[in-house]
Structure 1
Amino acid sequence: MDDLRRHLLIPETEVEYIDPTQPRGPKKEDVDHFEHGKVLSSGLQEIVDAYTKVQSAGSLSDEDIRVFEVLLPEGEKFSNKTLRDFLQGEGMKIKNVHDERCATVVTTTSRFNTLRDRVGKYRDGERINKSFRDIDSFRFPDAVDKQSPSLKARFLEAIGAEIFDVEFQEQKLTDELGTNGQMRIEQKLIAEIKQEGGEIRSEPYSLSDDTRIIRAGVSLSSLKKISDDPLVSHVAPTAFYSTAPAYCVPSNSKLSLDPSISLDDLPIVAVLDSGIEFPPELSAVVIEHWTPHGAQPGNKEHGTSVASKVAFANTGIQITNGIMTPRARIIDCNVCGIDPESPDPTIISNPTMIKRIKEAVQKFKDVAKIFNFSSAGRKPIEGDKISNLGYELDVLALKYGVQFVISAGNHELYKTEDSLQSILDDDDARIAAPSDSMLNISVGAIVGQDHAGSLSKRLEVAPYSRIGPGFQGMRKPDIVTYAGTILKSGNAPADDYSMMLGINNQLAFDAGTSFTAPVISGDLAQIATSVPDDNVFLAKALLYHGTIMPIDPGKEKINRDDAAFYGDLYGRGLSDVNASMYSTPDKVTFLHVGTMNKLHKQHVKFLMPQVCDSMDMHKRNRKVKITVTCVTQSPVDKDKGEDYLQAYVSASIYSINGSGKKTNSNPSETDGRKKWDTCFHFEAPYSSFTSGDWEIWLELHTRYEVPDDQDINYSLSITIEDLTKSLKLYDSIRAEARDRFPVVQLVRVPVRI
């Protein structure tokens, strides 16, 4: 512990604000207005024909609006403000952007008819409005295009009588029709579902952006007809969540709490699970038991094991020793009890889970900033759109400043496959909802101990652990930690990683990402105690910053493709709490928390000390390594499709080379500097350089509807590591910098509820 030092802070005085250069737009070419006008007119006529066909039964039959799609030509994007202004001027309001070139719009019937007239004049050369060249075509929304990929695949099979549990997402038309109007057309859609033999399985509910969702059981044969309704925006299978009890054995262990630990000083983690029942001698760690309004409590089996992984680091080892040293207090949020609206009461439907989690966060957000959720959907994500629960967790994170730690999900491919590689190659191994959440932390598993009969060896992806990519190909899971393994029989061999607390004073043995997420929840809680104000957002950046990749590439340099592959297996790597919490004599971490907008770029300074100049720069050996992590708290917009994330901060490193010139030295082969990722995480080694003020250049990138002056939060961590371990780097920086980069000072304020 003598070698562990507190990190250094980069104050605002070390940040330089730079005016950005304005990009130039591409020069546009003219098109044949006659041929192009015929295409546009044809599309508008097809929309009229489609409305005539569905009007008698459609939910918009009595409404003075038209919903249709606008498609753009290759190279054009809806980020073009001139184009958006033109659409608005023609009475078309963008409702959903599906990709860069396709969006759903709404207009009144009269404005639609005016649009047809204006396109006709454009076609006939009576009035050539060049802005029409920015539109490729118009079309009526296709029912199949509204389906998620898995439903589209089922349409290729024989149509049968099988009933599917799905969620219909409505087009948001409250601006046009008012709240009462939205409810009116919703009732028409419900009547249509029932007329087609469907069953409404939950009370319709709203997402945080006021999008209405109808959950129903329908046959595949009726699904296309219902999806033809212009009110339907998207349809996907309903997600269900469950918890499974671990194998338990009676315990003869005499456990006691470490008397040197003051419970009131420990951070608090809320565990969203099936309830918790610790042995009486450990029960003081759980400071409140709570169940959502009107819900039936769960059986406490799964939740007890999960909570033990949060509260006690290296749980199995501590149980063996008998002295339990807690690192966090627990709030028991018993949200996984029976769901009366589920076909199987032991699994919980999307609407019920969203409602219960929202209630828990609203109740405990002021005392707990970390919420552990160790449940995942039974099937992999679709990937075309963010999942409903993933979106809701992102909104809660933004609104209340909390972080969810989420299990990546488990599969059972190990029962049918004969090798780990075969499992990793299977699309069914992809992460499950809600671990596609982009602003929270999803956790995978790597095996902690070798066992005969396991398809995975130590440090390899566990044979049950789901992997990436995530939504729109993003890196997932975010992080991994050690866990037990599972054999083909389904049994989890006993070891330090599979051992946990069970109910009724028993020991539990199991393996799954349900039991790696709580390890990271506890890690994050520990890290938060090492930063000012227990800032969980900065703690998250440090969590990623301290990770190590559980691979040994040898002397081979990892290329970009390999880095992306490893990212889909391990995320940013294996959690290392001490590396995240502390600097050392040879490894110094600088921290900065700030906000950015589009009006300025930022150059953040950190010190490469003069003692480094004593190194022989003529030798080609690597002397120092810089690690950079920048995490962005981006706004999100579910209506923007693949453009769901609305902002990210890019980070570039500018070092001083051997000639004393400041130069960009970003690594060429990395997957850690990906556009529209919420985390930039990369490292760069140096063999020749000069001391002085090095810089991280930050630039905010946003989608088109984010105002230039909107401030976006970010957290930045920068580490200088002396690879020679000869310079006493920490002391040298402190002596040279004096008070420029102060040491983190902590003030503990006990939290009681």
Structure 2
Amino acid sequence: MPNNRPHFEIPSARVRIAEVAVRGRAKPFSRPDYSAHGDFLRERAAQVAEYSNTTADSGATEALFLQVRTPSELPARGERQRLLNAGLEIVALSAIDPNSATVQLRRSDVTVLQQRVERYATTPSHTGKSYLSAIEDIGPVPIEEKIALEISSDDDTPLDCLLVFYATLTDRERAAVLLAIRSYMSRKNLAIGAERRLSNGVTLVEARLSASDAREVGAAFSTLRQVMPDRLFYVPDGRRISAISPEITIENPRCLTGVAVLDTGISDLCPGVATSVVATMTQLPAGSVGAEMHHGTFVASRILYGDDLESALRSGVLSPLCPLIDIPVIGVDARGSIVPIHEGHLASAIDAALPLLPASARVVNISLGTNSACIDGQMSVVGQILDKHARARDLLVVTTAGNIRNPRLLAGFPGSLLSRDCRIDSPGDALLAVTVGSFAKFDDTGALSRVRQVSAFSRRGPGPFGGLKPELVAHGGNCMADGSTTARVGVHGLAASGNAWECDSGTSFAAPLVSAIAAQLFDHYGNPRANLVRALLLHFTSPVDVPRVSVQSEHLAGLGEPMLDAARWSVDHAASFLHVGELTSSQHQFLPFHVPACLAAGAGGKLKIKVTVVLDPPVSPDNQQEYAKTRVSIALRKPAEIGHHSVSVSNELVEADKWSPISQLTRSFTRSYQTGEWELQLRLWSRGLSVDFRQSFAAIIEVSDETGTLPVRTSAEAEAGQGYRVLGHRAAA
């Protein structure tokens, strides 16, 4: 350890609470002619009644899904309560039209809706106008809302598809819909594959469909939310460098925290990784006779040994970092060929395996990718199920930004980064995952990236909702214009055979380094909440170089490379204050932190305050336009003669989507401030949740001297140490 100066913890007893002022009700909406509008809605309600009886799933579910359109001056996202008063519950906002939303209605309540519309149209007072007047139109969900953009109507070639059904269906309805879709596909002579019922409520059906088939199926089923491509996951191969001596000594793992390696599989022929495997949870696809061990073994060795593998092999002693849980998801058939997996299988494998992880496994590493760029406003099904389990199980999921494999795009680096085809792929789009890109540590003649520059193959952000992706970068190697690498510029890992080590490059081998740091932080802080470890990873970072292209640097390199020692220990010119707690939307919280007197204006230093706040919001698999259900706003408050005054700050983290689970700001001060106790103000915002919902969060507030000369850490402890707890650490067994 570089020193013995731990970070401070803000005790919950010192957090100040204040009630949030309640906003007024929505203004009423008026129409010039309620009778004419009522007549129009009567006609539409009659058509809805007919539609309810003619869909292919009419006998399978009580749930009927429709689209409601609101007046242009009333965006649909603000009309939840009025539509609910009409018996229509918004389940998804339109990705095409801000004045449209998908609503759910019980089929048995269609008659009730017709009666309400009848009273609205015919009574002198137009009963129900306070909510029915906000409905511009109602009818079936347009097929354009259901068919993914990648399924082009210009090409009718059949492709592997996923039929995604609404998550709000009951278990009985899900079973009945599966019977209905089997019957329908049989009648239409359409091929159908596996059926999967995920724990987040989503039902998936694999099918091979042309664009015209997809449109026909989408129109036939009210309960079908989307038809999307069922993307393949790709596995690269490494290149052998050298044999390994059979005399290598392998020690016990140094950490207590386990890392689950959800990958191709870890070879039991490779003692350098196999001795660290404490459990195997096989999730291979049909047709497999065993796991494909090469990629998973390489990834596992990167977690255990990182960039120190070569020196460790030369010393004759391997000291693995942590226990591993092997979750093989890609297999080989009887001929030794790889059995490919699609998104549906991987989502199902994640759903089956993660709830069964041992309690000591707090990190999940997924170094797989689809080679298909994410789509704005659309979360992959794998991302959805990862987000569900990351929150439910309090896990830290680490995944990759994905690799650019197209030789044309690689040869055009860095200008080709402007192409949307270079955006992150699944599962790197997962909102609650730490998505990791790659930077180069070495260069050579013909290599595309400079030392400490983002690797040419590393996919870029933003995420599907405009937020920060990738969040971090780590060493994943360098490559040539054709995508190849060498032992000099690539990364090193163990071969599945167990008798050699190999070289390769890719974000697959950058993510394990972050998983390794995460495991060490879980150990150091005594098995804390995953939010705290995410915050530590994202706060204490070192920048890397990015090429000069018209892409925001944070969308290329995220927040930088995570720094393990900085996340565990303070340097003397900085003091960091950590807090883990819960927020409600009805209250402000004010976290105290101390700016020591040595940082007074004019004292020779320069005050900088950096804040990182991380949430794990619940997510909506159906409502992609409002995927995250909570967010937090943050503000600084400096001491004044009486109480505190707000500080004008801007959120410097690049976010097109303010509903990001990450909030970060940095502000430097040179005048007009006092030292002493400052505050960080937090307010939770939510949508679709009860007012008493409690959101877990972690906050890090770092007070530093930008000149690097003043004793901030020791001064803060001397002046205010009694008000904060000094964090200890848990030693490994």
TM-score by shorter chain over 0.5? yes
Alpha carbons of 1:281 and 1:255: their partners in 2 closer, same or farther (altered >3 Å)? farther
Q: CA deviation at 1:79?
A: 5.6
1:690 corresponds in structure 2 to 674
Task: Report matched runs for 1:353-368 at 5 Å.
Answer: 353-368=346-361
Q: 1:667 to 1:256 in 2, by over 3 A?
A: farther
Distance 1:662 1:272, change over 3 A: same
Q: Does 1:714 align with 2:697?
A: yes
Q: Could you tell me whether the CA contact under 8 Å between 2:263 and 2:329 is conserved in 1?
A: yes
Q: Which moved more, 1:406-415 or 1:649-658?
A: 649-658
Aligned-partner Cα distance in 2 for 1:26–1:86 = 9
Q: 1:65 to 1:305 in 2, by over 3 A?
A: closer
2:700 matched to 1:700? no
**What is the letter of the counterpart of residue 519 of structure 1?**
L
2:562 maps to 575
Partner of 1:217: 208
Equivalence map 1:379-394=2 (5 Å): 379-394=372-387
In structure 2, what is the equivalent of residue 558 of structure 1?
Answer: none
Looking at structure 2, the residues matched to 273 and 65 of structure 1 have their Cα atoms a distance apart, in angstroms, of 38
Superposed displacement of residue 107, structure 1: 3.4
Greater mean alpha carbon deviation, residues 28-37 or residues 9-18: 28-37
- Pair 1:679-2:668 in alignment: no
Q: 1:587 to 1:296 in 2, by over 3 A?
A: farther
> How far, CA to CA, are the matches of 1:548 and 1:361 in structure 2?
31
Instruction: Give, in whole Å, the separation in 2 of the partners of 1:463 and 1:40.
Output: 56
What is the root-mean-square deviation in Å for CA atoms of aligned residues?
A: 3.1
Describe how 1:266-665 pairs up with structure 2 within 5 A.
266-277=256-267, 279-280=270-271, 283-292=274-283, 296-316=289-309, 318-319=311-312, 321-322=314-315, 323-338=317-332, 345-416=338-409, 418-495=411-488, 497-504=490-497, 505-551=499-545, 565-613=552-600, 616=602, 623-656=606-639, 662-665=645-648
SS of 2:66's equivalent in the other structure is strand
Structure 1: runs of 5 or more not aligned = 555-560
CA distance change for structure 1 residues 288 and 173 in 2, over 3 Å: closer, same or farther? closer
**1:656–1:690 contact (8 Å) kept in structure 2:** yes
After superposition, give the CA deviation of every residue in 1:208-267 in whole Å (9 maximum; x if it has no partner): 2323221111222222111101232211111322322211233256884586xx636443
Number of corresponding residues: 719
Secondary structure of 2:724's aligned partner: coil
Can you list the C-alpha shifts for 1:470-520, whole angstroms capped at 9, x where unaligned? 122121112111221221233112236522222222121111111111111
1:674–1:680 CA contact under 8 A, matched in 2:
no
CA contact (8 A) 1:76 1:101 kept: yes
Could you tell me how far 1:87 is from its partner in structure 2?
3.6
Q: 1:164 aligns with which of 159, 164, 172?
A: 159
Identity of aligned residues (%): 23
2:224 alignment partner in structure 1: 232
Judge conservation of contact 1:249–1:508 (CA < 8 Å) in 2: yes
Contact 2:266/2:326, CA 8 A, preserved across alignment: yes
Superposition deviation, residue 625 in structure 1? 1.4
Contact 2:456 2:478 in 1 (8 A): yes
| 2:698 partner letter | S
In 1, the alpha carbon distance for the partners of 2:235 and 2:653 equals 37
C-alpha spacing 1:670/1:217, structure 2 compared with 1 (3 Å): closer
Q: Which moved more, 1:665-674 or 1:449-458?
A: 665-674
Q: C-alpha separation between the residues in 1 aligned to 2:496 and 2:483? A: 21
Residue ranges of structure 2 left out of the alignment (5+ in a row)? none
TM, length-normalised to structure 1: 0.88
Relative distance call for 1:8 and 1:111 in structure 2 (3 A) is closer
The separation in 2 between residues aligned to 1:296 and 1:110, in whole angstroms, is 49
* One-letter identity of the residue aligned with 1:707: S
> How far did 1:535 drift?
3.8
User: CA 1:506–1:525 in 2, change beyond 3 Å: closer, same or farther?
Assistant: same
1:46/1:452 CA distance change after superposition, 3 Å: farther
Distance 2:591 2:583 in 1: 12
User: CA–CA distance in 1 between the matches of 2:729 and 2:133?
Assistant: 60
Bigger Cα displacement from structure 2, 121-130 vs 519-528: 121-130
The question of whether the paired residues in 1 share the 8 Å contact of 2:52 and 2:107 is answered with: no
Q: Equivalent residue for 2:193?
A: 201
Query: Which piece of structure 1 moves more, 693-702 or 119-128?
Result: 119-128
- Kept in 1: contact 2:330–2:338 (CA 8 A): no
Counterpart AA for 1:67 = F
Aligned partner of 1:92 in structure 2 is 88
Distance 1:725 1:169, change over 3 A: closer
Q: Secondary structure at the match of 1:667?
A: coil
Q: What is residue 557 of structure 1 aligned with on the other side?
A: none
Partner of residue 719, structure 2: 736
Could you report, residue by residue, the CA deviation over 1:131-165 in whole angstroms, capped at 9, with x for unpaired residues? 222222112211222011212xx11x14x3x2111
Deviation at 1:283, TM superposition (A): 4.7
Query: Distance between the aligned counterparts of 1:182 and 1:360, measured in 2?
Result: 22
Does the 8 Å contact 2:60/2:173 carry over to 1? no
- CA distance in 2 between counterparts of 1:173 and 1:537 reads 28
8 Å contact from structure 2 (residues 273, 300) kept in 1: no
Q: Name the CA distance, whole Å, in 2 between partners of 1:6 and 1:653.
A: 24
Which deviations, in whole Å up to 9, do the C-alpha atoms of 1:657-715 show, x marking residues without a partner?
89996331423655269521101122111112321101110111100x21111111001
Cα distance change of structure 1 residues 281 and 430 upon mapping to structure 2, 3 Å threshold? closer
Give distance in 1, aligned partners of 2:250 and 2:592: 43
**What is the identity, as a one-letter code, of the residue corresponding to 2:302?**
K
Q: Is the 8 A contact 1:59 1:186 kept in 2?
A: no
Instruction: Specify whether residues 336 and 92 from structure 1 end up closer, same or farther in structure 2 by C-alpha distance, changes over 3 A only.
Output: same
Give the 3 Å change call, closer, same or farther, for CA 51–710 of structure 1 in structure 2: closer
Change (3 A) 1:163 1:696: same
- Separation (CA, whole Å) in 2 of partners of 1:674 and 1:358: 28
- How far does the alpha carbon of each residue in 1:426-476 deviate from its partner, in whole angstroms, 9 at most, with x for none? 111111111111112111112222233233333333222111121221211
Deviations along 1:515-547, one digit per CA (max 9) or x if unpaired, are 111111011112222224344331111000112
Deviation at 1:551, TM superposition (A): 4.1
Once the two structures are overlaid, the 10-residue window that deviates more, 669-678 or 14-23, is: 669-678
Structure 1 residues 673 and 722: alpha-carbon distance in aligned structure 2, compared to 1, 3 A threshold: farther
1:40 maps to a residue whose letter is: L
Q: Please give the secondary structure, in 2, of the residue aligned with 1:241.
A: coil
- Preserved contact between residue 242 and residue 336 of structure 1 (Cα < 8 Å): no
Cα distance change, pair 547–38 in 1 and its aligned pair in 2 (3 A): farther
Amino acid at match of 1:515: F
In structure 2, the CA distance between the partners of 1:712 and 1:282, relative to structure 1 (3 Å rule), is closer
Tell whether the 8 Å contact from 1:429 to 1:467 is kept in structure 2 after alignment. yes
Distance 1:287 1:69 in 2: 50
| Equivalent residues of 2:578, 2:701 under 8 A apart | yes
Between 1:592-601 and 1:660-669, the stretch displaced more is 660-669
**Kept in 1: contact 2:258–2:519 (CA 8 A):** yes
| Cα distance, 1:708–1:329 mapped onto 2, change above 3 Å | same
What CA distance in whole angstroms lies between the structure 2 residues aligned with 1:651 and 1:360?
A: 36
Contact persistence 1:672–1:682 (CA under 8 A): no
2:68 aligns to what SS in structure 1?
strand
